[in-house]
Structure 1
Amino acid sequence: MDSVLVRKVLGTTDGRQVLRGVLVGVSIAATLVCAGLWLRTRNQVHHITFATGGETGEYYAFGRAIAQVTQKHAPGIQIEVVASAGSAQNMDSVQKSAADLALVQSDTPVQPAVRAVAQLYPEMFHLIARKTANIQTLRDLQGKRIALMPAGSGSYQLFWPLASHYALSDRDLEAVPMSAGAAHTALRAGEVDALFRIIGLGNPSVTELFQDDQLELVEISQLGALQLTQPYLESTVIPQGSYSGSQPIPPTDLPVIAVSALLVANEKVNPDIVKAITSVLYEHRNELIALTPRAANIQSPERSQNLGFPLHPGASAYYRQDTPSFVVRYAEAMGFLLSLSFLTVSSVWQFRQWLIGRQKNRADDYNLEILALIEQLEQAETLSQLQILRQQLFSILRQVVIDLDVDKISPESFQSFTFPWEVAMTTLHHQELVLYQAESGGQSSD
């Protein structure tokens, strides 16, 4: 009965008006809901945690620069930069989702939930020693007291494989982990003999450290052997005068080893957020450089896509945004190839015939040169003239061999060349014999 009643009501004019009103109301409500959701998404603020390094270090400064420029160009992304003990802790924090982004050294073992975003800048091994300690190589650290960065930092973790390569262990030297500031103070005060730190070239705190003329940089070499167990290491140099120009430090280009600073992210971070941050690195680099000069060394997008572990989808989307689909990319070329194929097939034979003719003509030119030389050989009156003609013969032979190698003449044409050349050589030898006998006869008569 109810369904019959409904049909009767809707069948009337008033009923149809009620139905239209209901549909309009539902449409308006749906529109308002969609608009609300769009506005909420547009105005939503994403909070990102960014693990860097010590508050006085380069990683922290670089992270602050990224956060500041990102907030300017993508206000919906709020990045909280947090200090940390270094790369190992940062990698662990991203793996456990305690941090969304992090800066790590390229030697840091990659965790399963961590994805690459970008390769940033090279970090160079700095071994700084007191001149009185007489440290010329890493091996000379035996029996010495050396300041290292805090345990868990990339510098600390990399020092021990490096020392091991030089047959040094913690029993052969006294390693003292401490903060960068404390390490610099201890080195200046003579409380340690040396300091090992991995840092970007031209770091202001290292530049200030070299105001003490009792300190020097020590070469770190043997990269090839080190790469057998640590393939992420790179060869580089600290250029002459990087830390002082008046009395250059180092005094000459100094071979050292480097790793790269990487930006990584947890795999679950929103791809749009990672894409926006990646765009800041490459599209607003000048603004980053104004905040931290290290940004001038950000590596190319090509290098960032070949880091040896998976890219984050957001970074991948940025790097490939200008890459068209296969069909779009090759449709025009494919059409061109189809239209060109018939012409190509029909012209290959003609080209081959032309090439054969050209090779033969070139060989004929050489044969004519040989015939002209044979005539000159027969008319030569002195051995010096024969010597000049001999050089011309061998010069032609040398050019013919070169042309044969680059397919300017064919093997068949080369065979046809050898006959007149042998005739020329026979004529040369005969004429030499005649002139030798003539000269000998003249000398004996004297």
Structure 2
Amino acid sequence: MRWIYGLFFALILAVGAGGVWFIYGKPQEPKILTVYAGPRDGDAFTLMREISQVVLRHSDTLRLRVRPSLNSSVNIRRLRAGEAELATVESNTPAYSDIQLVADLFSDYFILIAHADKPIYRMQDLPNHRITIPEDGSSGSRSFWSVVDHYSVAPESFRSLSVSGELGKEQFMQRKSDAIFLVNSLRDPSFLSFLEEARLRGIDMRFIAIDQAQAMSLKRPFIQASKIVRGAFDGSGPLPVKDIETATLQRLLVARDDADEDAVNELVNIIFEKRLDLLIRMPLSANIAGPNVNQGASLPFHPGAARYYDRDKPSFLQENAEPLALIITILAMIGSALLALRRSLSAKAKNKADVYNVRLLEISRHARESKDMAELMALQEELSTVLETVVKALDSDQVTEEGFQSFAFLWNSVRDVVNERRQEISAQAGVLSQS
């Protein structure tokens, strides 16, 4: 009978141990956050897709699922419906109490362009003309009508053609409208393609200033005054031909208030701590900043994001800077004595960066000589591996910042070589299949 009790006790221990392992020892699946990021050909979607790749490379606990959508208003609806945890929106998008800020992504500019042969030189010249504007209900549409309201242009004095995305740009290029109003960043891929297509078609355009943006912000605090500098899109023209005053909105990354706090904190940490990796992929990411409730939308921080931003609160040393001044002076003297040693180590780090540059040149040479798509895919994978190695070397001071910048420039060039070679082989394959 005693052996039965022993067996029963052993069974209880086994079940308990299994439960402990299940809770604490079993490998946890990464948390997946879904983010709706606007049109697939837009800058917000591209940026979030690149962020998702950086998260994939640097986190074992988080993944981003990036989804396209029509506009910011749709994104807010999807958040509130529980279809996503994150979304990108413009700062004039009506939000709700269950939506919280994660980060400022970049500035969206109000851009008004007219055909050069049309007598449109300022907002007050819109009457008796046809204007293509973003689709009804979108942030872009709200932005346009806020400008019209400020300049007291009667809506019935002109014809507004409300269409979405590429349709509106094509409408303008076919001269079905006299001007077009857009809201996007200055590096938006679809906008840059529009300007290039217009140049190829020989369409002369004039950028119209929105020169009272600062006054508009008195009524609409989410609007900020800025300018599009001369030659921002083409230095040979240049385009535009002079600095253009205009208004901007902030593109924001927001989250539901019940989004996993640790996951949001991990996302913000990677965005800012792995900034170099992200910058190489997309220069627009240089504009990402912590939210500023005094500019743009007045939404509260998400707790996960706030945990990261609050890390910069004054430390004990900062609060007691004056009593520690003498110690700092002594340390500065010691630092001067070690400067020569640091220079020696920096020289070694630069030499190591040169080794990686040589490796990139070898990849470039193989890509130019390659005629096999599989080999090019392998070279592209090797590029990613080299990038990861150098980023880690930078973090551990094995490569200098100067050496890394030189590497990053060459890495981008080699990536373009590989991509162009892949396109050439694909085009050749297409020609062969047709023949």
Please, what TM-score do these two structures have when normalized by structure 1? 0.65
Aligned-residue offset at 1:141: 1.2
The residue identity in structure 2 corresponding to 1:60 is F
Unpaired stretches in structure 1, ≥5 consecutive residues: 1-8, 338-446
- Counterpart of 2:148? 163
Do residues 82 (structure 1) and 70 (structure 2) align? no
- Counterpart of 2:348? none
Do residues 329 (structure 1) and 319 (structure 2) align? no
Secondary structure class of the residue paired with 2:157: coil
Do residues 264 (structure 1) and 250 (structure 2) align? no
Do residues 51 (structure 1) and 33 (structure 2) align? no
- Counterpart of 2:16? 30
Do residues 105 (structure 1) and 95 (structure 2) align? no
Alpha-carbon displacement from aligned partner over 1:231-258 (angstroms, at most 9, x marks no partner): 1111111111011111111122211111
Q: Of residues 50, 53, 69 in structure 2, which corresponds to 1:68?
A: 53
Give the whole-Å Cα distance in 1 for the aligned partners of 2:107 and 2:159. 28
Percent identical: 25
Give the whole-Å Cα distance in 2 for the aligned partners of 1:224 and 1:241. 23
Aligned-residue offset at 1:206: 4.4
Secondary structure class of the residue paired with 1:196: strand
Q: 1:210 to 1:61 in 2, by over 3 A?
A: same
Aligned-residue offset at 1:311: 0.5
For the 8 Å contact 1:184–1:209, the answer to whether it is kept is no
Q: Of residues 184, 194, 202 in structure 1, which corresponds to 2:169?
A: 184
Alpha-carbon displacement from aligned partner over 1:340-398 (angstroms, at most 9, x marks no partner): xxxxxxxxxxxxxxxxxxxxxxxxxxxxxxxxxxxxxxxxxxxxxxxxxxxxxxxxxxx
The residue identity in structure 1 corresponding to 2:279 is I
Q: 1:206 to 1:124 in 2, by over 3 A?
A: farther
Secondary structure class of the residue paired with 1:171: helix
Aligned-residue offset at 1:22: 7.1
Give the whole-Å Cα distance in 2 for the aligned partners of 1:91 and 1:241. 35
- The structure with the larger Rg is 1
How do residues 39-438 of structure 1 correspond to structure 2 at under 5 angstroms? 39-40=25-26, 42-203=27-188, 204-209=192-197, 211=199, 212-299=202-289, 301=290, 303=292, 308-321=298-311, 323=313, 329=316, 333=320
Q: 1:30 to 1:126 in 2, by over 3 A?
A: same
Matched positions, count: 318
Secondary structure class of the residue paired with 2:269: helix
Unpaired stretches in structure 2, ≥5 consecutive residues: 325-435
Aligned-residue offset at 1:110: 2.2
Give the whole-Å Cα distance in 1 for the aligned partners of 2:85 and 2:154. 36
Aligned-residue offset at 1:145: 1.0
Give the whole-Å Cα distance in 2 for the aligned partners of 1:142 and 1:243. 28
Give the whole-Å Cα distance in 1 for the aligned partners of 2:237 and 2:17. 73
Deviates more, 1:188-197 or 1:68-77: 68-77
Give the whole-Å Cα distance in 1 for the aligned partners of 2:86 and 2:318. 40
Give the whole-Å Cα distance in 2 for the aligned partners of 1:60 and 1:252. 30
Give the whole-Å Cα distance in 1 for the aligned partners of 2:247 and 2:307. 32
